[in-house]
Structure 1
Amino acid sequence: MGHDSVETPNLSFVRGGEPGHGTPYARYARLSELHSLQNPRSKVPAELSFIVTTQVMELLFGLLRHEWTLAQQALREDDLPQALAALRRGTHAQDVLVESWGLLATMTPQEFNAFRSVFGEASGFQSSAFLHLEFLLGNKNAALLRMYDEVPETRAELTEALRSASLYDDALALLARRGLAVPHEPSDQRHRTDPAVEAAWRRVYTDPELASLQPLAEALLDVAERVTRWRQRHLAAVRRAMGAKPGSGGSSGLSWLRKAAEQDVFPELWSVRDEM
């Protein structure tokens, strides 16, 4: 096919895509709208970095949800290659998330305190996108839904995620379909270490007939390790900028973050290594 036959993309479906309104790139990425969303409430230079970091993380939360949902769908269809591809794409997004904390690495307590009052009780702890990811990981807590009592659409969406299978549930369901004795019923409770699940993963690593499932175990462990790295960087960033003061949203701040950083994701994939 010759170069002259390439059709001009139709970007009219993009908001702001009317003729003469910026370049095709600006219309496609909605750059004018994007760059209008950073509105510091103080004159402290560090506040812009704080806002941009927060917004970047929220965008990456949405991308991760997209990839993990695709991975779930593929697992339910017994399409292991597609599930692994989605998880692999997600780990790259997780790497960027972890490194995003570097944007705040030089913020001093004086700089943070200079604008902290302008966002009042706002806290990343209130992020519905982040909570959705926690539920997808199996870290479920129904009590957290109370934050969204006045946002019924968000609460309904999170309630569905709470009651639905997590990414780990779908991985365990695939193991069960491959003949492993493993519980995999979805629950609205946080996943806790189960000896039967640990035994199933041990067989995946030691039984040659189940070796094809090892890439799934390792891909999930890649996800889990990056979640821990993100939590550790969060803990370090908060400790550096505000110490042990209570969080703006009413959480216990540093102690809550430390507890979260110590909590393993997909715990059997870690504990099984003790006996291998």
Structure 2
Amino acid sequence: MTDSTSAVAEPAADSTLTRPFQGPSPYDEYVHASVLNALQQPLTEAADEMGFLVTTQVMELWFTLVVHEWQAAREAFAKDNLDAATDAIIRSGRALTALNASWKPIAALTPTQFNSFREAFGRASGFQSAMYRHMEFLLGQKNAGLLNNHRGDSSVHEALTETYRATSLYDEVLRFLRRRGLPVPEKAVERDLTAPYAADPGVVEAWREIYATPRHELQALGEQLTDIAELVERWRFDHVMVVRRAMGAKPGSAGSAGLAWLERRASRPVFPELWTVRSEL
């Protein structure tokens, strides 16, 4: 007799789900899970190194998706396709939200835990992430010196150089606004694309006109971009806090200023005029 409290037997699997395949399953051929799951190669026996590796690799995947969406939005703005542009921006916001949540597995590392594997990655540093550099360049935060880390890998260097020389996402937004008749100054859209973007009072006025006009069709765009700016700035702040907690103010692994460099970067606003205009409404 079967005890009434015993677990319910698992239903038989559908035969279509248990069929054998010649070679990898279609799922693995599409997702490449076996490749992804083979990429974690800890160099120490430290219990926390696996979490650090997985977290870092997951962040790289989110960087890739964010870059993909921002490039799609940039191209859509250049074609005056507001619907496609804003759809891509909204998708990138969801990806950024997931990216920010990726800090959780390593956010509470103590100095002892971090030091248990830190020396193993030698000169490696997140500062060297090419995909994150694509993100920064797409935000208009250009710096020619940051291309140097990638000169040894011609394909990576070539792709990053292309992003460095091209319009940023915000450049295309401002060009779009100007074509829509907003008072974006010519100098703001004809600027040196390889220079870091600098806030312009004329751009503030363009956003002020949008926000001061009841039910202006581009207010939603302003808020969507502000969402992106806030998410990026939160990611930077969380990065500062994770590093501060795990290693304090010690120099970074690649010889950078570590915490001090991260704090300077975190202080730079994304899409600055969208923050300034709020004081003028």
Superposed displacement of residue 52, structure 1? 0.2
Does structure 1 residue 194 correspond to structure 2 residue 196?
Answer: no
The residue correspondences of 1:117-196 to structure 2 (distance < 5 A) are 117-182=119-184, 183-185=188-190, 187-196=193-202
CA contact 1:21–1:27 (8 Å) conserved in 2: no
The percent identity for this pair of structures is 48
Does structure 1 residue 214 correspond to structure 2 residue 219?
Answer: yes
Residue 144 of structure 1 aligns to a residue in which SS?
A: helix
Structure-1 separation of matches of 2:156 and 2:29: 29
> What does the per-residue CA deviation read over 1:197-231, in whole Å, with 9 as the maximum and x for residues that have no partner?
111111111134x8111111111111100000000
Q: TM-score, normalized by length of structure 1?
A: 0.90
> What does the per-residue CA deviation read over 1:148-167, in whole Å, with 9 as the maximum and x for residues that have no partner?
22222222221211111000
Structure-2 separation of matches of 1:185 and 1:87: 24
Stretch deviating more after TM superposition (75-84 or 61-70) = 75-84
> What does the per-residue CA deviation read over 1:104-153, in whole Å, with 9 as the maximum and x for residues that have no partner?
02321111101111100000000000001100000111111111222222
Partner residue in 1 for 2:64: 62
The residue correspondences of 1:29-48 to structure 2 (distance < 5 A) are 29-48=31-50
Partner residue in 1 for 2:109: 107
Residue 44 of structure 1 aligns to a residue in which SS?
A: coil
Deviating 4+ runs (over 3 angstroms): none
Residue 125 of structure 1 aligns to a residue in which SS?
A: helix
Structure-2 separation of matches of 1:274 and 1:239: 32
CA contact 2:108–2:242 (8 Å) conserved in 1: no
Partner residue in 1 for 2:229: 224
Partner residue in 1 for 2:13: none
Structure-2 separation of matches of 1:122 and 1:255: 18
Q: TM-score, normalized by length of structure 2?
A: 0.89
The residue correspondences of 1:235-254 to structure 2 (distance < 5 A) are 235-254=240-259
Residue 67 of structure 1 aligns to a residue in which SS?
A: helix
Would you say how many aligned residue pairs link Structure 1 and Structure 2? 259
Structure-1 separation of matches of 2:139 and 2:103: 21
CA contact 1:169–1:185 (8 Å) conserved in 2: no
CA contact 1:221–1:266 (8 Å) conserved in 2: yes
2:201 is matched by which residue type in structure 1?
A: P
Structure-2 separation of matches of 1:205 and 1:269: 10
Structure-1 separation of matches of 2:72 and 2:26: 29
The residue correspondences of 1:67-86 to structure 2 (distance < 5 A) are 67-86=69-88
Runs of 5+ unmatched residues, structure 1: 1-7, 9-17
CA RMSD across the alignment: 1.6
Structure-2 separation of matches of 1:122 and 1:50: 13
Superposed displacement of residue 19, structure 1? 4.5
